[in-house]
Amino acid sequence: MELADILGPDAVIADMRASSKKQALLEVAQRAATVTGLHERTIFDVLLERERLGSTGLGGGIAIPHGKMSGLGRLYGVFARLAAPIDFEAIDARPVDLMFVLLAPESAGADHLKALSRVSRALRDRVLVEKLRATDRADALYALLVEPQKSRAA
């Protein structure tokens, strides 16, 4: 599975202005609603409920909010680069400036876990993360994210 399978060019927010975790989740839920056709409040509630179980802030300024939802026919991703880092209650207590939201059908099971693993692996690539932080154009962010993993390793 490649990120291009779950992330479309219209699902990239290049310069999100949010001052809190809740506001950031609401903004990505709005974009996810446009991409998926589901109601933004439903998406927001799923993401917020997952955050109540424990922060999806992985450390290093990166968060991967995620959840399973009825009404989805496939996996969807939304990427956001925040204009200014926000507190996300991350494991390392560092503020978050890069978010990759993953939404999966309720029946996704292993596919959801594979997608989470794929996103996590991509966002552990220091070179990629530096490039993501260095650009504020949605088309450039998208191109960086969907570039095949093998070419990044070279």
Q: Which residues are catalytic?
A: 66
3-state secondary structure 30-54: HHHHHHHCCCHHHHHHHHHHHHHHC
- Residue 143 CB-half CA count within 13 A: 7
With b for 16 or more beta-carbon neighbours within 10 A and e for fewer, the 68-103 pattern comes to bbeebeebbbbbbbbeeebebebeeebbbbbbbbbb
